[in-house]
Structure 1
Amino acid sequence: MQNLVSISQKFNKTRIAPTPSGYLHLGNVLSFAVTAALGQQTGANILLRIDDLDRTRANPQFIQDIFDTLNFLEITWDEGPRSVEEFEDVWSQVHRLDMYNQALQQLWDSGQVFACTCSRAQIDAAGTGGVYPGTCRNKHLPPNTPNAAWRLDTSLQKNLTIKTLAGEMLETALPDDMHHFIVRKKDGYPAYQLASVIDDLHFGVDLVVRGHDLWPSTLAQHYLASVLGTSPFENITFHHHPLLVQPNGNKLSKSAGATSVKFLRDEGRSTGYIYTQIAKMMNVNKQAQSFNELITIINEA
């Protein structure tokens, strides 16, 4: 992991942005810890943004778990909800639907998106290795076509420039598996990539901390921001940290049944135990009692 203690840059705001689709696991904790440490190091305020646009999976008990976990880990935030009730009343992404829909309408009116009715099974059967082949791009389906998602037309190749925490400017292109990515889901709700771009701009985030697995999302969001003409997004700095993995090499995930922090809390495990377990999973055999100690011993390893 890049030595975070040596970072001299200053930022205004970063964010912790969990999804309430399951109980949080140690991989989430690592991301929270890195974000909190960088917030302290760079002077950035921390926004708690809970991404709940997947309305079929968002669950109040998982939202409560986010607050319980952050408080248990002694990770504080400067902006955002403090309870499930406050989140639902003020901070839920459903309160920002007008902003998302305005961006979607802009994309449709400018011909940057197209409606697509393809299912995952149809895409898999296309023989393109699971990569969407652009089947509906030239069908000119109406925007209100039943059971249709909206996809961004990424036929135009763009050189994407990403600002990194190390002060580098990385130039790359959109990966094949992100071509024509979805910006509006079949249920009519904005997709993650669009909502994340709009939210980061709306809240004035200038430092995004996320796992290496979200590098393709970073590129997709830069592509989308360039299409929307939102130049401030280009000035956001991104830091992608290593992931915690299982013994078989797979990353920890809620869907794969990774041990939850709630389970460990209910078993009476301490904050220090959880941080120390994360250190061990990163091959650092030292004790950590706080997120700052965790980041310090990882940096020193």
Structure 2
Amino acid sequence: MAKKLQNKSIFGRVLGRLFFLVIALVAVFAIWFYQYASTPIDHVVQDFVVESGGVKKVADQLLKQGVIDQTLPFLLLARVTGKHKLLKAGSYTISSALSPRQLLEKLSNGDTSTLTFTLIEGWKWTDFRKALNSNSHLRHDSALMSDDELLAELGISALTPEGLFFPDTYHVDKGSSDLKLLARAHQRMQSKLDKAWAERSQNVQLKTPYEALILASLVEKETGLAADRPMIAGVFANRLRVGMRLQTDPAVMYGLGESLDGRLRKIDLLTDTPYNTYTRSGLPPTPIAMVGDAALKAVLHPSSTTALYFVAKGDGSSVFSNNLDEHNSAVRKYILRK
């Protein structure tokens, strides 16, 4: 009996010691885990990308890019805090040392880094695409696509991408696809064009929103002074109404493309292309540049004028004339005197 009591006593002491040992180990682990979660990591990189996938895949990506130095405790912390299902893909920037807990907060909040990309009014599509391809912070999914392939990828039915993207400043995630930016710029242009067309003046003779976009691109390229846009649009509207050719140099230059050698010459004005508004009547087949709000508004609310001609004065502004004699006089005064 005494032996049994002695054995129970020894077992109790062992069990008690094991219990306290477990408690001590749990306490040590809890302290270590708290310190791990709270201690800033010595990050190797400042910019990193997280692709879609489960928490294990994300942890592997972070380890490979030098954002974390071990995956197991990071995975455990993600699951303990419930963040493992909230991690968002994107491009991120670390501006100061973050603890694993802070890193998880950043990833679960989708606190991605962004870049600013600006499209300029008057840019041609080739200018836009060159700027896209040279931006090192974008993923260039469209770089090897032809224009037709790109339009098909974006779901756009058009002969050319020219003029279909709204010039503005866009903020997009670093590392995101250039197709995403293109889609946003096209959607914005379509929204702007639809709204402007719905609010057009009743006397506008243009038949479709696309015609308005084409004419707006001519106004955009012809305008040196913003205040002249409605008058230039009025001149073009008058010419279209009476059947005169538009005779706008920027369209001719666009049609000549890379074959244009310096300034326009007389032979260039006589060389027929679909964009030569000296040899062909009506509008060119497509826009010749990207247009902003002001050009769209000008062609859909043109000035009420009898002018049929305009010539640049050399200071950015234009002088407008009602007939050919007045125009020739203005040409002699502002062009031939140079």
- Return the TM-score normalized by structure 1: 0.22
User: Greater share of strand residues, 1 or 2?
Assistant: 1
Higher RCO, 1 vs 2 (CA within 8 Å, ≥6 residues apart) = 1
TM-score by length of 2: 0.20
| Larger Rg, first or second structure (1 or 2) | 2
More helix by share: 2
